[in-house]
Structure 1
Amino acid sequence: PNVAACLNNLAFLYYAQGRYDEAEPLYVQALEITKHRLGEKHLNVAACLNNLGLLYYAKGRYDEAEPLYVQALEITKHWLGEDHPDVATSLNNLAGFYNVQGRYDEAEPLYVQALEITKHRLGEDHPDVATSLNNLAGIYESQERYDEAEPLYVQALEITKHRLGEDHPDVAQSLNNLGFLYNSQGRCDEAEPLYVQALEMRKKLLGENHPDVAQSRNNLAALYQSMGRYDQAEPLYQQALEIAERTLGSNHPDTVNIRKNLESLRDIKR
């Protein structure tokens, strides 16, 4: 198990850096070792399944992520009961998969349940509560339930700043989420400073060559495009595409989306 832990730790480092292809074989090896040493239904196996599921999710391999999330949730519930923070994590992961597929009716109750568990077990002001708030707000936003999403995003941002400090990747994600909501509502002047701040923070904390930096550049570019500021949008799309192709590959859903955005902008400018 110590070897598996070392593999998981190194894989997580690569994952955090956006080096997904290097992380995958380590996570797979860690899962195999853990199953062999501890058995198929051990809690450490559930952790390994969640890790590998998150990686597949990040790589856009959603069909491979789902069974891992489901299995991890079943193991975690079996050993820890329904009302444990690790169960909330598994619920969040599975709901995220349903959300990205547009299966909102399946995702929402899982997100709500995860939020309730996290608040009850960890307190109202815990970073994991902020994560759950962000997740639930995201599904409301996907359904254009903006009035329900906004207070959750604001609350998540406040918790994250308070608990993790002003200069943390999770703060950048919260800024990005709120900016995206404002942009969706046409509140461009409110969205822009949030997007700019999120981008600068991510570049500083994660480096220029990270998928989250590509996401921030793409979002800011889309905002500028919607405002008719095409000359500012195009280089951001181009930079985002280069990062995404390098870190995620040409066929990843995020890469495909950025490429379409750039092509759309160039069509407008012709």
Structure 2
Amino acid sequence: MVSIVVNNLVFWAVALGLIGCFIWPMALLGKKFWTRGKLDEQNSESEYSGLCGDLSASAFRLSVNDQQENAEQKYLQAVAAGREAVSKNEPEAGRLLAGCLANLARLQERSGQHDKAEQNFREALEILEVEGAAQANEYVYGLDSLAFLLWQSGRLEEAVPLYTQALDITASQQGTESDDYVSRLTALANVKSQLEDDGDAERVCREAVQAVKELRGEDDILYSGAVRSLMAVLHQRGREEDAKPYFDDLLELSRKELEPEREDADYAQALSYHAGLLHEAGELREAGHAYRRAQKLLRSAGLDTSAEYAVCLSNYARLLRETGHSQQAERNLRQALSLLEETLGADHEVCKAARDELDETSSGAAA
């Protein structure tokens, strides 16, 4: 579980960064229509588009202020106005509606409404295709968003072609040395590394490792993610000796990241990651100390309800169980699972893995 959780956190950072780019263009597009609607209140050719943009901008502000339920209602109203705009053939109404649907889907995804989110992401992509925007940035970001949602739901085989399509479009528009291309290649490598029968996984993972190394350097978080994906593939194929040099490199890079010692949130997360590596290396005493120190720093930084804190708790619980402290491990896992379900949604693959781990730990503690 240690390697799975650490690697998935790296992947979330990549994927969420890409999805964020999808939300902003749509919010700005909505603002453009909102302004036009205000200026042309009398017989505006974009009456419903203006209303859609106004409601969408309001929903976006509510979501930023963590008023998720109110934001969802505003987005639903914006979508209704967008559909009316499309029915009246208002200029660019289709792309505006697609943006509202995508932002609504992202909100629903965060609240665990994965079925609704998937439906809205797919409709947004279909609208953009009809509008002739299948090469536009918002379409590519939509592919990222839907692929990430499917990955969260454990539907890896369905996520791969979406990531591949997004990657191909990025390559044709920006080239293979662009930051977006390398980020998407790393995301694709992560997903493929989790498919045991994917014969192309090793090639993609090696390409990702090399691309990140050349573009961003070995000290970038994407490099760690790409290397861990490659290591996972090598482990699956029983090639432990081939994987070991990569692991040693990660451990050394992680040690350097901790110098000099600090007490901020970034340092706490780096320390939690390093603890996971020490754990995998079998250095349990040092790993335990690093886990506890990381938890203390995360609490001090106000991150004791975050996914990062939950992951640190979960990984430390596994170490406790391995060293014979099953009851304490169970308490940590229950707390971690509660936090993970709140932040990621109960259907997330990491939550499912944490529940399995809890069941196994509870059985051990009872015995």
Spell out the pairing of 1:59-138 with structure 2 (5 A cutoff): 59-102=153-196, 106-122=200-216, 124=217, 129-138=220-229
CA contact (8 A) 2:189 2:201 kept: yes
Spell out the pairing of 1:168-247 with structure 2 (5 A cutoff): 168=266, 172=269, 174-200=270-296, 207-247=303-343
CA contact (8 A) 2:112 2:344 kept: yes
| Corresponding position of 2:231 | 140
Work out whether 1:152 is the aligned partner of 2:250: yes
- Gaps in structure 1 of 5+ consecutive residues: none
Shift, 1:220, TM fit: 0.9
CA contact (8 A) 1:27 1:51 kept: yes
| Corresponding position of 1:24 | 117
| Corresponding position of 2:265 | 167
| Corresponding position of 1:260 | 356
Return the letter of the residue paired with 2:282.
Answer: G
**Comparing 80-89 and 1-10, the one that deviates more:** 1-10
Structure 2: how far apart are the matches of 1:206 and 1:93? 29
Task: Give the TM-score normalised by structure 1.
Answer: 0.75
CA contact (8 A) 2:193 2:232 kept: no
Structure 1: how far apart are the matches of 2:187 and 2:106? 16
CA contact (8 A) 1:84 1:117 kept: no
Shift, 1:108, TM fit: 3.5
Percent identity for Structure 1 against Structure 2: 24
Return the letter of the residue paired with 2:159.
Answer: A
Structure 2: how far apart are the matches of 1:153 and 1:32? 45
- Which structure's relative contact order is higher, taking Cα pairs within 8 Å and 6+ residues apart? 2
Work out whether 1:54 is the aligned partner of 2:148: yes
Give the SS at the match of 2:265: coil
- Gaps in structure 2 of 5+ consecutive residues: 1-25, 31-97
Aligned length: 261
Structure 2: how far apart are the matches of 1:243 and 1:32? 35
Structure 2: how far apart are the matches of 1:254 and 1:137? 17
| Corresponding position of 2:138 | 44
CA contact (8 A) 1:134 1:152 kept: no
CA contact (8 A) 2:213 2:223 kept: no
Structure 2: how far apart are the matches of 1:34 and 1:249? 28
CA contact (8 A) 1:137 1:150 kept: no
| Corresponding position of 2:54 | none
CA contact (8 A) 1:214 1:239 kept: yes
Return the letter of the residue paired with 2:200.
Answer: E
CA contact (8 A) 2:112 2:347 kept: no
Structure 1: how far apart are the matches of 2:203 and 2:302? 33
CA contact (8 A) 2:271 2:291 kept: yes
**Comparing 69-78 and 2-11, the one that deviates more:** 2-11
Shift, 1:258, TM fit: 2.0
CA contact (8 A) 1:104 1:139 kept: no
Give the SS at the match of 1:168: helix
Return the letter of the residue paired with 2:196.
Answer: G
CA gap 1:10/1:84 in 2 versus in 1, 3 angstroms? same
Task: Give the TM-score normalised by structure 2.
Answer: 0.58
| Corresponding position of 2:84 | none
CA contact (8 A) 2:143 2:166 kept: yes
Max Rg structure? 2
